[in-house]
Amino acid sequence: MTLENTLLERLSEWRPQGGRQELLATADGWAAAVTADRCDEVGCLVWEVNLRRDGSAGVDVKSWASAVAQRVTGLLEPLKIVEIDETRKEAQLRSETPTQRGDKRFYYELLLRGNATALLRRYQAREQTPFALTNEVLARVTADVAASV
């Protein structure tokens, strides 16, 4: 079963009780850890999504970041590359155009490390905040990040 299908199946059954909890799904050589405050049959209030690859691929972080920026389309705002640190093998992607609600700005941030770790979060100003995604979008975004390597 693919990472997307495995995660979608697990999310459809997961109901975190009593605060923030983590769901782990593994497939295709990846482990996806979804940390959420709530989840139901439709979607989740996500704190973060952490992807880890078993082993490594023959792709550098710059190529992975470029592929992710082109491939991941399910979030409210498209992602763009903000910074690539070749020495540390890290890339930072953020929302191309943050969402403005009143005087508050919200944006996604995706940190890539090497070619084996990705961490997706949402921020309001510089403070991390939970974000809502349908289960289908959450599974698709996760699979798209993994498939971009």
What's the pLDDT at 58? 78
Q: Are 130 and 149 in contact (CB under 8 A)?
A: no
- The amino acid that residue 117 corresponds to is T
| pLDDT above 90 for 137 | yes
pTM here is: 0.96
3-state helix, strand, coil in the chain (%, to 5): 25, 45, 30
Confidence label for 20 from pLDDT (cuts 50, 70 and 90): very high
How many angstroms separate the CA atoms of 90 and 83, rounded? 8
Residue 88 burial (CB count, 10 A): 10
The pLDDT of residue 18 is 83
* Torsion sign across C-alpha atoms 34, 40, 43, 45: negative
Task: Give the sign of the dihedral formed by CA 115, CA 90, CA 20, CA 74.
Answer: negative
Between CA 80 and CA 67 the distance in angstroms is: 10
* Per-residue pLDDT tens over the stretch 33-60: 999 999 999 999 999 999 999 987 778 9
Whole-number pLDDT of residue 128: 98
Give the pLDDT score at 47: 98
Residue 136 has pLDDT above 80, yes or no: yes
pLDDT of residue 56: 76
Report how far residue 60's alpha carbon sits from residue 66's, in angstroms, rounded to the nearest whole number: 10
pLDDT band of 17, cuts 50, 70, 90: confident
Quote the percentage of the chain above a pLDDT of 70: 100
* β-pairing verdict for 104-113 and 99-101: antiparallel
Rounded-to-integer distance, Cα 7 and Cα 32, Å: 8
For position 103, what pLDDT does the model report? 93
Distance between CA atoms of residues 121 and 137, nearest Å: 15
**If residue 110 lies in a helix (H) or strand (E), which one and from where to where?**
strand 104-113
